[in-house]
Structure 1
Amino acid sequence: MRVLLKATLDTEKVNELTRSGKLPEVMKEAIDRLQPEAAYFAPLGGRRTCLLVFDMQDSSQMPPTGEPFFLEMNAEVEVTPVMNADDLQKGLSQMA
């Protein structure tokens, strides 16, 4: 299932990672692990935010998906099922 992970990063923790030079490594590990089809980074609500769209095969993947963001960046993490335009059309066609 395609999901959107929104990680709102803790400013103080990410400042520490940035100053130590570890932030690029931590982000690369997260991206390499999840292999997202899309990855975006933006200041949402005044806080550093990471948005990743990836395929989650099973709900048992939730702990290894979210924990690195919790542990490494003290992030607030949300995981939400999402659709692309093709998925939406497929779903709507099933309603007829």
Structure 2
Amino acid sequence: MRLMLKFTIPVEKGNQAEKDGTLGPAIDALVKQVNAEAAYFALENGKRMGIVIFEETDQARMPSINEPLFAALNASIEIQPVLTSADLQRAL
């Protein structure tokens, strides 16, 4: 199943992680761990935000994907299934 993981990082924790050099490696580890199909980064409500699209068949892996972001960046995380336009056309 294709999933979209959206994370936001509190400003103070993001600034601290950027200064101590842990921000980039934490995000890079996520992208590599899930073998991301796409990854986008922006600001949302003044906070660092990322959206990572990936395929996952084993929902038991979700804690191993989420926990490093919680621990390293105090991230808020939302995960939901998403469709490509081809998937949507097949469903309709």
Report the TM-score range of the alignment, normalised by the length of the smaller protein. Answer: over 0.9
Aligned to 2:42: 42
The Cα of 1:22 is off from its aligned counterpart by 2.2
Q: Distance in 1 between matches of 2:26 and 2:62?
A: 18
Over aligned residues, Cα RMSD in angstroms?
1.0
Moved >2 Å (runs of 4+): none
Question: Structure 2: which 5+ runs fail to align?
Answer: none
Aligned residues: 92
Q: Distance in 2 between matches of 1:60 and 1:15?
A: 31
2:25 equivalent to 1:33: no
Residues 7, 76 of structure 2: 8 Å contact kept: yes
TM-score, normalisation: structure 1: 0.90
Question: Structure 1: which 5+ runs fail to align?
Answer: none
Identity %: 37
